Amino acid sequence: MRTSHVGSFPLAYSKENIARVLRDLQGIGLDVPTYPQLRSFIDIYLKPLEALGIVYSKRGLYFSTLKHLEVKPPRVRIDDAEEAIEVISREKLVFKALRGPITGVFTLASRVYLSEDISKGLQMTALANKDIVMGFFREFAGNLVHYISSLGYNIVFMDEPSLTLFIGRRVLYGWTEESVIEVLSSVAKAAEGAEVGIHVCGQLNPKLLEIIARVDKVKYLSFEFFKTPSNLELVSKGLLEQYNKVISPGIVSTSSLRVESVEEALAILTKIYSKTGGRVDLVSGDCGFGGLKGSLGDEEKEYKISIEKLRIVIEAVKKLCQIEKC
């Protein structure tokens, strides 16, 4: 059972801070780090499209038109991901694996408005246009997955928080269970030679969990359990065995400044381990720690709290593995 992290930290974006985070993660003994996301997980992937004139930003939001999204999506570089690989190589940092988070196809589509009239919310985004998602955004996300895995990230995670916004008792905006699975599966298959996971923060529901579990090529299902303990009620050993999945649980809060005790984190992890029959790996916080930025008005204190929380995750995993011999 390995420890990991979802991605973001409350530090200003710079090459120096990317290196600092990776050194600190090796220092505390984290097994599988991500490249440190020190920018918005939306900006990282949509800014390259803005530079090419495919989308434009206004009032902190992204906009485009059907015409601009009917083109073949470009292949882009993610400087953050490349810089992290260079740091690890240059400084000879050692980890058990590397995790490359990419913002998922549905979440990217949900952040691009097709009209400047945003009063109807998601209905005005590309998410509600199935043809654009099946075309431009699916290929763009697939290119990202292939690119990240080619850099040397042997585990690629598709971060898809938007799934909770349109999959509930029914699936909205003309999507069906099968079409959502088809899109996610085709993106996941682009990760040649790498394992794949899906991260969804927030509260799950039975339909959403089953849809995610049925996605081909995906091995790891990353959910929050500290902030949303009700998620544990939906997870079962039988479902995971049926679809050959592994739970990657969040066991400390990423929205609270309080550093949990090892006992708190261990209690949650023990419940998950028991409920899933031991199908647990890549244990982390509930989400990224970017949400802590600005909460204290002191970047150093906010960052130190995020590192201490990951240290708690590491200690909880060590204690469980001493008991379960995992």
Tell me, yes or no, if the pTM score tops 0.95: yes
For residue 236, being part of any structural domain is answered with yes
For residue 305, being part of any structural domain is answered with yes
Distance CA 213, CA 206 (A): 11
Contact predicate 9/39, CB 8 Å? no
For residue 190, being part of any structural domain is answered with yes
Say which CATH number the domain at 212 has. Answer: 3.20.20.210
For residue 7, being part of any structural domain is answered with no
Encoded tokens for 277: 């029959």
Mean pLDDT per 10-residue interval, the chain, length 326 residues: 97 98 98 98 97 96 96 96 98 98 98 95 97 98 98 98 96 97 98 96 96 97 98 96 98 98 98 97 98 96 98 98 88
DSSP tally for the chain: helices H, then strands E: 13, 8
Residue 320 belongs to domain spanning: 15-38+79-102+150-324
For residue 218, being part of any structural domain is answered with yes
For residue 306, being part of any structural domain is answered with yes
Find the angle CA(281)-CA(146)-CA(241) to the nearest 5 degrees. Answer: 30
Predicted pLDDT at 258: 98
Q: How many domains does the chain have?
A: 1
Contacts of 233 (CB under 8 A, 6+ apart): none
For residue 304, being part of any structural domain is answered with yes
For residue 97, being part of any structural domain is answered with yes
